[in-house]
A and B are shown apart, each in its own frame.
Chain A
């Protein structure tokens, strides 16, 4: 690349507006909020500097660990449930036939509905008495399998993860299709001549070509799962007895409901730290393959 003065000014002018808005409205607030995390503050009245005490309390709180565990369950179920399914569907629905277009729209639809609608509907599906799921099991003669899906702590986290995955497949489907259709047809032909079809083609040609996209998708999955809030708040509120508590709901409760504002800020900083660690891990694991 010619390192001329013109290109330098282009770089600055092209990058600066984005950086400016981003730093002012996203980065500065988050550091500000991290700053609050060092105080014992109710959100009203005086704040007392307590150093890392909030973090210490957090690590000692069993609810924090339960929330973390729940989030990790979500991350795992997202990586297993969303990415492969989206990939599979994108391969199946690659061609632009009418049928495929309709299918894609159908898959994407849950994303379009607001989380409140999704939460409400699944609340009805999981309803212990009149829910679709239990009624379906009854008609199939599998009544013994019917459960209070959202209140039984052994399974409610899994029950909650299904609507989340179901709603989030759409965007990844679109991203994968965009990436797949971008693979030049020359490569496609070359592969055919080499006799690489079906599974072999998938693994030795297609996947490596879109690996960058797959990695980005996994990163989005992880960050999204760690911030999950809306669906759970509507479906269970984090309960019962905080069995479906997530880091984001835990933070929200502490910040806005029980007047532990400083503590809540520390929790949100912790969320960022944990996300960063997981994504770092992801990069390390996927760098080798790439």
Chain B
């Protein structure tokens, strides 16, 4: 018995040794050697790109396709493309950042994520790409580069998507059945909520297990209607306004009003947003306030019958608030950033790669995969489902207001996300406001 065991062990270890010798990839993610292949065409240039389009959805396939196309068109460039599952993306990127071993090109989220990389001196601008392709630059919608212009006149990332987060989807059949008017004012909203509850229909489907959902979809828009955009920008910069101002407490109070009137289904904090979407599309809820990603999800999983009665509009306005109605919270989505240490031929190749994915072709491909972009695309109506088309048009027409987590630091974002869950469990607006204020001030330089 022992002999056999020893024998097996030895074989296995030999096998493992052999296997590792044959397969050690050697290069880790982009170690930066500067310009040793400067201007030397015909020599292999190596660049690495990390992103999280790892799944089977249309958008992921579109992006991977664009990278493959670049590879085919540039045979002298060796591209190490890593598609990392979303769940592990931040962890992996943070780890290599801490070890100073970042890839040449990497995907960053708008807001604190990309801001932190800039503050730490890890990224360089891609402005020369903009200068090279001015038509491309001008076709972006207003505000596309707002969160990516860390220095005056220097753009660091071109967004690959538009995050429009506060569409109000509603089931028009349910509204007709219970003779409720689709709300355009706050009072009408309250009436609708009450009527639906009386008839045992959930007014608004919400899946807030991942707590960013309520903040991103509802709070941003809701608060803006009460406080106005200018106040928010000042509070986020901690310059002339604070989150403990009464106007914000009032905004939180409006959210609490929704909770107190049982606008959301029970236990919304333990359901994830995919399940909430399903709940809605199966006709159990009258409304759902969610972002453009729901369109992508529903396009993949809902039947045409289920989609038929669904319409989309903006959230109702609030009388007397400082902000306007008819706005949607949103902004530039995530995009690719360029490593500061990438220079010379690698930098050129990297810039070209960025253009391949974020350029006009890329934007179009992404838009046609049921994912909104911040770019003026001529959308081919036959390639997308009607709901998506309606939503896209709506987004183009509406004014865009900020999404909170794009302007708050990571810590403050956590604070408000958890704070909203707290409100849903009976917490007080003043407490949540204070927590947010403390977090933002503590982590803002």
A–B touching in complex (CB under 8 Å): yes
Bound-state CA distance A180–B119 (Å) is 60
Q: Which residue of B lies closest to A154 (CB)?
A: B425
Contact partners of B83 in chain A: CB under 8 A: none
Report whether over half of chain A's contact residues are helix, strand or loop; otherwise say mixed: loop
Residue A170 at the chain B interface, CB threshold 8 Å: no
Indicate if the CB atoms of A128 and B97 lie closer than 8 Å. Answer: no
Q: Which residue of B lies closest to A127 (CB)?
A: B271
Residue A229 at the chain B interface, CB threshold 8 Å: no
Interface residues on B, range: 35 or more
Residue A231 at the chain B interface, CB threshold 8 Å: no
Indicate if the CB atoms of B120 and A45 lie closer than 8 Å. Answer: yes
Q: Given contacts A42-B120, A239-B421, is CB(A123)–CB(B98) below 8 Å?
A: no
Q: Given contacts A237-B210, A260-B411, is CB(A128)–CB(B94) below 8 Å?
A: no
Q: Given contacts A256-B91, A257-B414, A261-B98, is CB(A44)–CB(B122) below 8 Å?
A: yes
Bound-state CA distance A242–B416 (Å) is 12
Within 8 A of A (CB), among B212-269: 265-269
Indicate if the CB atoms of A256 and B122 lie closer than 8 Å. Answer: no
Indicate if the CB atoms of A148 and B266 lie closer than 8 Å. Answer: yes
Q: Which residue of B lies closest to A261 (CB)?
A: B98
Indicate if the CB atoms of A239 and B116 lie closer than 8 Å. Answer: no
Bound-state CA distance A126–B267 (Å) is 10
Contact partners of A268 in chain B: CB under 8 A: none
Residue A204 at the chain B interface, CB threshold 8 Å: no
Within 8 A of A (CB), among B171-216: 208-211
Indicate if the CB atoms of B414 and A153 lie closer than 8 Å. Answer: no
Indicate if the CB atoms of B267 and A42 lie closer than 8 Å. Answer: no
Contact partners of B91 in chain A: CB under 8 A: 256
Bound-state CA distance A148–B209 (Å) is 12
Contact partners of A152 in chain B: CB under 8 A: 267, 425
Within 8 A of A (CB), among B414-445: 414, 418-419, 421-422, 424-425, 427, 443
Within 8 A of B (CB), among A100-159: 123, 126-129, 148-153, 156
Contact partners of A241 in chain B: CB under 8 A: 211, 269, 418-419, 421-422, 424-425, 427
Bound-state CA distance A237–B273 (Å) is 14
Question: What mask results when residues 150 to 188 of chain A are scored 1 for a CB within 8 Å of chain B, else 0?
Answer: 111100100000000000000000000000000000000
Bound-state CA distance A243–B427 (Å) is 13
Indicate if the CB atoms of B410 and A45 lie closer than 8 Å. Answer: no
Which of A126, A255, A260 sits near B270, CB closer than 8 Å? A126
Q: Given contacts A128-B265, A129-B279, is CB(A43)–CB(B421) below 8 Å?
A: no
Contact partners of A223 in chain B: CB under 8 A: none
CB distance from A249 to the nearest CB of B (A): 12
Residue B90 at the chain A interface, CB threshold 8 Å: yes
Bound-state CA distance A255–B91 (Å) is 9
CB distance from A87 to the nearest CB of B (A): 30
Residue B150 at the chain A interface, CB threshold 8 Å: no
Bound-state CA distance A236–B271 (Å) is 9
Within 8 A of B (CB), among A190-245: 236-237, 239-243
Bound-state CA distance A228–B120 (Å) is 32
Indicate if the CB atoms of A150 and B267 lie closer than 8 Å. Answer: yes
Residue B121 at the chain A interface, CB threshold 8 Å: yes
Please indicate which of the listed interface residues B267, B268, B424, B427 has the most CB atoms of chain A within 10 Å of its own CB.
B267
Please, how many residues of chain A have a CB less than 8 angstroms from a CB on the other chain? 31
Bound-state CA distance A149–B121 (Å) is 45
Residue B140 at the chain A interface, CB threshold 8 Å: no
Which of A44, A240, A258 sits near B120, CB closer than 8 Å? A44
CB distance from A119 to the nearest CB of B (A): 11
Contact partners of A240 in chain B: CB under 8 A: 208-209, 211, 269-270, 418, 421-422, 424-425
Indicate if the CB atoms of A242 and B120 lie closer than 8 Å. Answer: no
Within 8 A of A (CB), among B389-422: 409-411, 413-414, 418-419, 421-422
CB distance from A123 to the nearest CB of B (A): 7
Contact partners of B424 in chain A: CB under 8 A: 240-241
Contact partners of B271 in chain A: CB under 8 A: 127-128
Indicate if the CB atoms of B265 and A129 lie closer than 8 Å. Answer: yes
Residue A275 at the chain B interface, CB threshold 8 Å: no
Indicate if the CB atoms of B270 and A43 lie closer than 8 Å. Answer: no
Indicate if the CB atoms of A44 and B119 lie closer than 8 Å. Answer: yes
Indicate if the CB atoms of B270 and A148 lie closer than 8 Å. Answer: yes
Indicate if the CB atoms of B119 and A45 lie closer than 8 Å. Answer: yes
Bound-state CA distance A256–B88 (Å) is 10
Bound-state CA distance A153–B425 (Å) is 8
Question: What mask results when residues 133 to 145 of chain B are scored 1 for a CB within 8 Å of chain A, else 0?
Answer: 0000000000000
Residue A53 at the chain B interface, CB threshold 8 Å: no
Indicate if the CB atoms of A242 and B418 lie closer than 8 Å. Answer: yes
Contact partners of B293 in chain A: CB under 8 A: none
Q: Given contacts A241-B419, A241-B422, A259-B116, is CB(A151)–CB(B414) below 8 Å?
A: no
Indicate if the CB atoms of B117 and A44 lie closer than 8 Å. Answer: yes
Bound-state CA distance A241–B214 (Å) is 12
Indicate if the CB atoms of B94 and A256 lie closer than 8 Å. Answer: yes
Indicate if the CB atoms of B270 and A151 lie closer than 8 Å. Answer: yes
Contact partners of A150 in chain B: CB under 8 A: 267, 269-270
Contact partners of A256 in chain B: CB under 8 A: 90-91, 94-95
Bound-state CA distance A253–B418 (Å) is 13
Within 8 A of A (CB), among B91-121: 91, 94-95, 97-98, 112, 116-117, 119-121
CB distance from B351 to the nearest CB of A (A): 23
Within 8 A of A (CB), among B353-407: none
CB distance from B271 to the nearest CB of A (A): 7
Indicate if the CB atoms of A123 and B116 lie closer than 8 Å. Answer: no
Q: List 16 A-B contacts (CB under 8 A).
A: A44-B119, A45-B119, A148-B266, A149-B267, A151-B269, A236-B270, A239-B418, A240-B208, A240-B209, A241-B425, A243-B425, A253-B414, A256-B90, A256-B94, A258-B414, A259-B116
Pick the 3 closest A-B CB pairs, nearest first: A148-B267, A128-B267, A44-B120
Q: Which residues of A contact B (CB under 8 A)?
A: 42-45, 123, 126-129, 148-153, 156, 236-237, 239-243, 253, 255-261
11 further A-B pairs in the complex, CB-CB below 8 A; given A151-B270, A240-B425: A43-B97, A123-B270, A151-B268, A153-B425, A237-B211, A240-B418, A240-B424, A241-B424, A241-B425, A256-B90, A259-B94
Q: Which residues of B contact A (CB under 8 A)?
A: 90-91, 94-95, 97-98, 112, 116-117, 119-122, 208-211, 265-271, 275, 279, 284, 409-411, 413-414, 418-419, 421-422, 424-425, 427, 443
